[in-house]
Amino acid sequence: MADMTSSPRPLLNRRLAEFGTTVFAEMSALALRTGSINLGQGFPDTDGPEEVREAAVRALRDGRGNQYPPGPGVPELRTAVAAHQRRRYGLSFDPDTEVLVTAGATEAIAAALLALVEPGDEVVALEPYYDSYAACVALAGGRRVPVTLRPQGGRFRLDLDELRDAVTDRTRLLLINTPHNPTGTVLTREELAAIAELAVERDLLVVTDEVYEHLVYDDAEHVPLATFPGMRERTVTISSAGKTFSFTGWKVGWITAAPELVTAVRSAKQYLTYVSAGPFQYAVAEALALPESYFTGLRDDLRAKRDVLAAGLEEAGLTVYRPAGTYFVTADIRPLGESDGVAFCRALPERAGVVAIPTAVFYDHREAGAPFVRFAFCKQRPVLEEAARRLKGAGAR
């Protein structure tokens, strides 16, 4: 048999060639090798509510979901998702035709783009973007058109003129993410209204990733794009249990959308995983019905953690963009006399025993993201306090 590894033709196809390995693998290996505190990858270091774990155990024991669940997801979860959207946002969705359960938000993003994007279509996305967006647009044969969020007045802002200019006759959809990873920005009502107007005016579809819908702080408010005039019928809203309930390993996500959009997305989804996470779907249905105190408790806990880490970074001399949402804080390293976030993050484990992610990797315009680094604060308080101490002690100043 021929040695495929030395074949002149690259094994990885052209669509994926630029997405070889992710920065997370490199940084996590570095964290391990140097015994650093890993604030790179965004997963909580404590599990979600005990009663939700127990609900999963019960489902497993009772034989609920141990065999292929229904393609659209178990009815209990679809009903719970619809009830959540109605209760929180006044949005009504039919659990049978307007809700689809997916293998995390990740599959929802992939299935939506594979279903809705024709080769050559342009997809306008906010930059920096979540790392799977670019790869999924590429898999769908689409062309990504980034609109850069730029820091101004203490937060990363969307330039509405730039967004308008990015839309052409070939634009198929807007891919939006709010609360936004990695910048921590929560798009304002005004920004969202402008996005909605543009989508209606140019007759665009919108895919909106709202997995951090419950992680908003201070005066910020999460407003789903689907609540704006003309948006319900053109918007695929994506969310997931991973961030809201601190079970990122369960991979239970969902979309809510008009029936035709759900049908389209399901056409792609059925050939990706078909179904997933059977017993966990029942547990997440129960989680979505937790009392309001759970959600406010999660928010308060994370807000306090944000403040610990932000204070540490400020004391270490970085410029901090205090996030209004998500569990990430983005900081500018230029006050330290540095400008290359990639080099900074490669050196930081040796220098301070802390791992962060250079946000340049989430940009097409790498130079726009060069001085920014992202730290996750979904970790236990003592871990964050120790990280803050190390950063300060590393003589970052």
User: How big is the chain, counted in residues?
Assistant: 397
CB 147 within 8 A of CB 187: no
Among 248, 256, 281, 330, binds ligand PLP (CB under 6 A): 248
* Residue number, 281 or 391, with CB nearest to ligand PLP: 281
CA dist 245 and 367 (Å) reads: 35
In the bound complex, what is the minimum distance in angstroms from residue 212's beta carbon to ligand PLP?
7
Among 36, 85, 178, 181, binds ligand PLP (CB under 6 A): 181
Tell me the sheet residues that pair with 374: 330, 357
State which residue, 17 or 272, has the beta carbon closest to ligand PLP. 272
Half-sphere exposure of 1 (CA within 13 A, CB side): 3
Secondary structure (DSSP) of 2-46: --GGG-SS-SS-TTTGGG-S-HHHHHHHHHHHHT-EE-SS---SS
**Nearest distance in Å: CB 108, ligand PLP:** 8
Site string for ligand PLP, 67-86 (x = CB under 6 A): --------------------
Q: Which residue is nearest to ligand PLP (CB)?
A: 104
Residues between 103 and 162 that touch ligand PLP (CB under 6 A): 104-106, 130
Q: What is the DSSP letter of 168?
A: -
From 40, 72, 224, 242, residue interacting with ligand PLP (rule: CB under 6 A): 242
Query: Among 118-126, 239-247, 263-271, 368-376, which window interacts with ligand PLP (CB under 6 A)?
Result: 239-247
Number of Cβ atoms within 10 Å of the Cβ of 18? 10
Closest distance to ligand PLP from the beta carbon of 43 (Å): 8
Cβ 130 to ligand PLP, closest distance in Å? 4
Task: Name the token pair of 313.
Answer: 């970074």
Please report whether residue 217 would count as binding ligand PLP according to CB under 6 A.
no
Write down the H helix ranges in the chain: 23-34, 50-61, 75-89, 104-116, 131-139, 160-166, 189-201, 241-245, 259-269, 278-288, 292-315, 341-352, 366-369, 381-393
Separation in Å, CA 287 to CA 76, 242, 294, 397: 11, 11, 9, 44
The 8-class DSSP code of residue 358 comes to: E
Q: Which of 76, 209, 286, 332 binds ligand PLP (CB under 6 A)?
A: 209
What minimum distance in Å lies between the beta carbon of 112 and ligand PLP?
A: 12
Closest CA to 198 of 149, 236, 165: 165
Regarding 240 and contact with ligand PLP (CB under 6 A), the answer is: yes
Determine which residue in the list 177, 244, 256, 330 makes contact with ligand PLP, applying CB under 6 A: 177
Nearer of residues 117 and 352 to ligand PLP, judged by Cβ? 117
CB of 225 within 8 A of CB of 208? Answer: yes
Number of residues counted as binding ligand PLP (CB under 6 A) = 14
State CA 381 to chain mean position distance: 23
- If one asks whether residue 375 binds ligand PLP (CB under 6 A), the answer comes out as no
- Please say which residue, 109 or 352, places its beta carbon nearer to ligand PLP: 109
Taking only Cα atoms into account, the Rg of the chain, rounded to an integer number of angstroms, comes to: 21
> Among residues 253, 323, 325, 341, which is the contact residue for ligand PLP, using CB under 6 A?
253
Q: Which residues of this chain interact with ligand PLP, rule CB under 6 A? A: 104-106, 130, 177, 181, 209, 211, 240, 242-243, 248, 251, 253
